[in-house]
Amino acid sequence: MGETAAAALVPLLWLLPALFALRSIMLRLGFGPLALGIGIVALPLFPLLPDSFLPMRIDHHAPQAVLGLCAVALLLRGSRKAAVLAGVLAAAWLVISLEALVLVAGMAGVLGLLTWWDADRRLPAFLAALAISAPLLSFATRPSSEFALPFCDILMPGHMAAFAAAGVIALLLPLLPGQDKPLGRLAGLALIPLICGPLAYVVLGPCVANPFSQLDPLLQRYWYGYITEGLPIWRQPLSVAGMLVWTLVLVSVGWWQMRRDALGDAGRARDILALIALIAAVFSFWLMRGGILAQLLAIPFAAYLLATYLPRARALTATLPSIGATLACFALATPIMASGALKPLDPLFATATMQAGMLAPIEPGVCDYTRLAALPPGHVLAPLDAGPDILAHSPHTIVMASYHRNQPGMRDVIEAFSGSLEQARAVAARNGADYIVGCAAEADFALYRTAASDNFANALASGEVPDWLERVGGFEEGPLKVYRIRPGRLITMDGTSTPRR
């Protein structure tokens, strides 16, 4: 009961600061009551957002986006103290996920532009807070041994060194000659990328460009290549690509409308928000889940456009024109209608990944892994997506799930199900498996079946299994396939044997 309550409440607790941050942004922009009210309730009209804050959705994407949104809200306030707090939030964001690196660099870049244009002094405060907070938060939340491991997926000492160098340079900028002129400030700012870029590359090597540079090609082919949220725009369904593009269009049109209306003294805040939102939207073209923050930042622009044009549409006296104009307002100001309109075209413009997925034979039904709890505890060789459910709802252990730091185990699972019966036998022996479990109704198992017609996944689905397996009673019907490895020894392909656990 406690776990269920926490899983239901935690996503909503992240939604609360997101709404307060949006309110702060819109008040800073000088929005009236109508635009402010629309902005607070518009979140469900952005396709990536409702699911991010849905009860029972526990992952790191919502906290990332909320920290980014709150950092932007602080940067709009214009004070150095707010910039310091934004730097701390940016550090926390990076500690959660290195995906924030591009967007944090974008925020620093926007502050750099303000330094160049009119000698704004918030950049040193932001970078100094980032440089101090990043190592403190990293070492407070991870054991020191983490930073000696050969992985690229967390904030490493090389990143921290680059942040420290950037902070020191930014603090020393006022002491350099020519800082009273834009050209002199630009020359001083150029020192930051010229020094920090090579420093990060020397220390981090290939990790500086791609946190997944060490991913096994087999995992790329049969695992990461099918995680839609991690793919670039050119590997997305048409409806998703249209949603990402429309978010960029929405921010651009909203920014133009705000500049045209010249709202009070909010010009600088408006431009900062627009630039960071555009950076986030472009970043989502490279990594789709970056669109979560982009859509949060697009909400104020959508609210302003709807508050500007929706009353005019509703004021039309003729019914059909009024309905058409109202729908046009929502089509312009939110990406949900563009995404919905393009959805039927997805199969006609399928990417290579989508085509393979459409060929995967998925059986009807649902696999209930709680039924495995009735079996004597053992070690289970199961597809990657099934692993967490088996761990959560049964006493069994598993060979591996989707934990990319344990690539040898993930590769074993994929090789077993996508490869030959002898390969599966070798993997089961190497890992001391007691049971083989597969769900013919799940996408990853279906994808393994496309690798070869006579592979292990197809043998399990058809029931034509080798003699070293026996079907477990009670699982003869339905998509859940459960087999026990026969007593004795598993003989590997090289003739050696491994005692079962």
Give me the residues paired with residue 439 across strands. 480
Q: Is 482 helix (H, G, I), strand (E, B) or coil?
A: strand
Task: Determine the pLDDT at residue 286.
Answer: 92
Q: Which two tokens stand for residue 49?
A: 């957002």
- In tens digits, the chain (501 residues) has pLDDT values of 888 899 899 999 999 999 999 999 999 999 999 999 999 999 999 999 998 999 888 888 899 999 999 999 999 998 999 999 999 999 999 999 888 999 999 999 999 999 998 888 899 999 999 999 999 999 999 888 887 777 778 888 888 999 999 999 999 988 888 888 888 889 888 999 999 888 888 887 777 666 666 677 888 888 887 778 888 898 888 999 999 999 999 999 999 999 888 766 678 899 999 999 999 999 999 989 899 999 999 999 999 999 999 888 888 888 898 899 988 888 888 898 888 888 888 888 877 767 666 667 777 788 889 999 999 999 999 999 899 999 989 999 999 998 878 888 999 999 999 999 999 999 999 999 999 999 888 888 888 888 888 899 999 888 888 888 988 888 878 889 899 998 765 554 454 445 544
Q: Is 328 helix (H, G, I), strand (E, B) or coil?
A: helix
Residue pair 71/107 in contact by the 8 Å Cβ criterion: yes
Strand pairing category for 480-485 and 497-499: unpaired
Task: Determine the pLDDT at residue 210.
Answer: 64
With helix as H, strand as E and coil as C, how does 217-273 read? HHHHHHCHHHCHHHCCHHHCCHHHHHHHHHHHHHHHHHHHHHHHHCCCCCHHHHHHH
Task: Determine the pLDDT at residue 263.
Answer: 64
426 CB-near residues (< 8 Å, 6+ apart) = 492, 493
Alpha helices, DSSP H only, in 351-419? Answer: 352-359, 387-393, 407-418
Strand pairing category for 397-398 and 497-499: unpaired
Residue pair 127/163 in contact by the 8 Å Cβ criterion: yes
Q: What's the rounded Cα separation, in Å, for the pair 43 and 148? A: 41
Distances from the Cα of 448 to the Cα of 221, 368, 418, 469, angstroms: 11, 20, 5, 19
Among 140, 151, 47, 77, CA closest to 406: 151
What phi, psi does 474 have (nearest 5°)? Answer: 95, -5
Q: What's the rounded Cα separation, in Å, for the pair 470 and 35? A: 65
Place of tokens 């909400």: 299
Task: Determine the pLDDT at residue 394.
Answer: 92
192 CB-near residues (< 8 Å, 6+ apart) = 112, 165, 166, 169, 170
What phi, psi does 216 have (nearest 5°)? Answer: -60, 135
Task: Determine the pLDDT at residue 231.
Answer: 84
Q: What's the rounded Cα separation, in Å, for the pair 488 and 41? A: 62
Q: What's the rounded Cα separation, in Å, for the pair 325 and 125? A: 46
Query: Which residues of the chain are in CATH 3.40.50 domains?
Result: 369-499
Q: Which two tokens stand for residue 449?
A: 């079946």
Q: What's the rounded Cα separation, in Å, for the pair 70 and 499? A: 55
Task: Determine the pLDDT at residue 379.
Answer: 94
pLDDT digits (tens, 9 = 90+) for 273-307: 999 999 999 999 998 989 999 999 999 999 999 99
With helix as H, strand as E and coil as C, how does 431-466 read? HCCCEEEEECCCHHHHHHHCCCCCCHHHHHHHCCCC
Task: Determine the pLDDT at residue 57.
Answer: 86
For 438, half-sphere exposure in the C-beta direction (CA atoms, 13 angstrom radius) is: 28
Residue pair 39/299 in contact by the 8 Å Cβ criterion: yes
In the CATH hierarchy, which top-level class contains the domain 369-499? alpha beta
Among 363, 386, 340, 326, CA closest to 477: 363
Q: Which two tokens stand for residue 38?
A: 């629309």
Task: Determine the pLDDT at residue 501.
Answer: 47
